[in-house]
Structure 1
């Protein structure tokens, strides 16, 4: 029996189920995805600077609702930038891990994450240790433990508030490496990984077992899995119904977890803001639609070189913007007396400038050296 020829609209190596030779596809850099990364980071920054109470209230000298009476209610949705990050991460990790041996995948992830992270931990610890800074630095032993990026499971005080998301990323990398990269990435294996993780995460949620929750991350798994589904669509074409099924199930579960974790009754006392369930679903949906547009090539026109720079700045900006932003907001708004409308964009600009310094003088020289040393 002969095999039916592949449809003419897709290359043979892109047909669903077809084996893909090592590095056969080699797509150009998706600059629109870099832009989406920065957009998600700016959403999180808006949340940290004006969408909640806490230390940022001390920085402003009062609740952000006083500084941004209307905008603060929209800034409160910025925390969903993390979920969009996770969708992008699922796409990127599947793309970058396909066809790589485990050692190369490990070296790539470690060299990508740690140089800027180490610099951010040292920088924030040093700034918070200054006598005129109102925020308290963590203890020396906790600061050293933070350098491992394993402070979350150890219950150690965090230097960087955003590092909880890195702990989620690390667990995703480990699951993907063990289940897909180690045995070798194929379309069937990736599909089974998505299906198996989805089912296991739902079981973990029902079991209410802390160990299963740590390993399987039911709250965040749908977003990573949805990103993988988008990459399958990008790789094999828009007629890949299995990829669309993965995305659809992941979106349905993801919006459920987002609403469950972030929604509260409108009359809840002492709540900073009210996020409607419709608003939460809308933000999650728009994030998925934007990644879908990248996967389908609809944003191929957004191929400006500055987007590559934006993508490079996103990670160091994400690491430093929260804690150093508190110090900057207080200095600009309280000490210098700048209005909130000027303090907010100036703080973001200064954090982006500092992120560029970390990229230029830390990441660019150290990342390739660390990667070479890990590859041996």
Structure 2
């Protein structure tokens, strides 16, 4: 698959279980600095945001279906061995919009990361990010490498050096190709964590998050215009509006909606429209995909509306446990689906009905994600968390070993 054609679950990529934040004590001096219009809300206290979990899972399934059935004509022929008109003549055009699921994931990530970091120390924030991302990511890289080097796939056989670079999750700045094309979304997530950790270090408050949103918005606009490559890579202009809007939506959820927060969301929506409708296609390639631009506006606007509904507390009655379980499968499904699924489709695409093959492959991948999450990812993450919590993060030399 071409790198240009893919979209992936971002998410964090990253949070696979949305945790309700317990109220934290705010010092009187700090409380005085908070705007009176942003009094804490009592919505959703003690509840899980199951609706957000379910929405994230639906976005993941949309991306999965896109990779199998909605990619560009050249990639579809490479995977299936024949043009998409002979396989999905009626549904291909609709499923191609599944690539936009990554934008919904960035929106959700801004909301969830801000929520999960509230009241945590920098150390706790670091440990939570590392233990939620790296265990499943390492599993995904190793599984993808095994499939690529063991089976006949349409993905080629990259230099083994790429495997080691990908295990760091820093392949983007290292100038190394992603072992799996879906990994591209992890770099925007890491940059978000890096910059947001500064606010966590200072202590999260309403005012500081709002200021951070404003600074990031300005940087996302000025960095490309000023031809600052390093700054442009760090602020990720095309994805920044979604992260920023997600944080503003969380502030609405934690406190309440204010004109200032709606202004941040509106500005983020406008910038998202600008980047996604850019003449050069932004991260989309108009040479290989020709959607009606109006549908792009409607889909992205729909994403903003869905998160707004959750932020305003209108989904607080939705507490179905199976949605939360589905949410835990999002990251494993994102990391495992592409290489495995494309290889299966490539081998059996001419032996089964394409629709049956796709549906059975997706169902199998969801089951595999559940098994990997329960039997491998959770135990590894638990061990890492215990080890990091007991480790010293200081730069002083450890005590000498007793002889």
CA 1:201–1:273: 2 relative to 1, 3 Å: closer
Aligned partners of 1:201 and 1:83: how far apart in 2?
16
Match of 1:165 among 185, 203, 213: 185
Deviation at 1:192, TM superposition (A): 0.3
Q: Residues 57 and 63 of structure 1 are in contact (CA less than 8 Å); yes or no, is this contact kept in structure 2? A: yes
Deviation at 1:57, TM superposition (A): 2.6
Q: Residues 55 and 326 of structure 1 are in contact (CA less than 8 Å); yes or no, is this contact kept in structure 2? A: no
Give me the TM-score of the superposition, normalised by structure 1: 0.88
SS where residue 48 of structure 2 aligns?
coil
Q: Is 1:228 equivalent to 2:247 in the alignment?
A: yes
SS where residue 300 of structure 1 aligns?
coil
Q: 1:3 matched to which residue of 2?
A: none
Match of 1:155 among 154, 167, 175: 175
Deviations along 1:78-99, one digit per CA (max 9) or x if unpaired, are: 1111111000000001101111
Q: Is 1:290 equivalent to 2:309 in the alignment?
A: no
Deviation at 1:248, TM superposition (A): 1.1
Aligned partners of 1:131 and 1:277: how far apart in 2?
39
Q: Is 1:208 equivalent to 2:227 in the alignment?
A: yes
Deviation at 1:261, TM superposition (A): 6.9
Deviation at 1:47, TM superposition (A): 1.9
How many residues in Structure 1 have an aligned counterpart in Structure 2? 354
Aligned partners of 1:218 and 1:281: how far apart in 2?
18
Q: Is 1:330 equivalent to 2:349 in the alignment?
A: no
Q: Residues 147 and 339 of structure 2 are in contact (CA less than 8 Å); yes or no, is this contact kept in structure 1? A: no
Aligned partners of 2:57 and 2:385: how far apart in 1?
24
Gaps of 5+ in 2: 1-24, 391-403
Match of 2:63 among 37, 44, 51: 44
Q: Is 1:250 equivalent to 2:264 in the alignment?
A: no
Match of 2:143 among 118, 123, 128: 123
Aligned partners of 1:33 and 1:208: how far apart in 2?
37
Q: Residues 118 and 147 of structure 1 are in contact (CA less than 8 Å); yes or no, is this contact kept in structure 2? A: yes
CA 1:20–1:110: 2 relative to 1, 3 Å: farther
Aligned partners of 2:152 and 2:110: how far apart in 1?
42
Aligned partners of 2:253 and 2:243: how far apart in 1?
15
CA 1:135–1:254: 2 relative to 1, 3 Å: closer
Q: 2:387 matched to which residue of 1?
A: 373
Q: Residues 262 and 275 of structure 1 are in contact (CA less than 8 Å); yes or no, is this contact kept in structure 2? A: no
Q: Residues 79 and 154 of structure 2 are in contact (CA less than 8 Å); yes or no, is this contact kept in structure 1? A: no
Superposed counterparts of 1:289-368, under 5 Å: 289-334=305-350, 337-368=351-382
Give me the TM-score of the superposition, normalised by structure 2: 0.82
Deviation at 1:272, TM superposition (A): 4.3
Q: Is 1:17 equivalent to 2:17 in the alignment?
A: no
Deviations along 1:284-317, one digit per CA (max 9) or x if unpaired, are: 0111111111111212232111111110000010
SS where residue 55 of structure 2 aligns?
helix
Q: Residues 151 and 158 of structure 1 are in contact (CA less than 8 Å); yes or no, is this contact kept in structure 2? A: yes
Deviations along 1:296-348, one digit per CA (max 9) or x if unpaired, are: 121223211111111000001011111211112123322xx111121121121
Aligned partners of 2:77 and 2:334: how far apart in 1?
20
Q: Residues 263 and 276 of structure 1 are in contact (CA less than 8 Å); yes or no, is this contact kept in structure 2? A: no
Q: Residues 50 and 65 of structure 1 are in contact (CA less than 8 Å); yes or no, is this contact kept in structure 2? A: no
Aligned partners of 2:58 and 2:46: how far apart in 1?
23
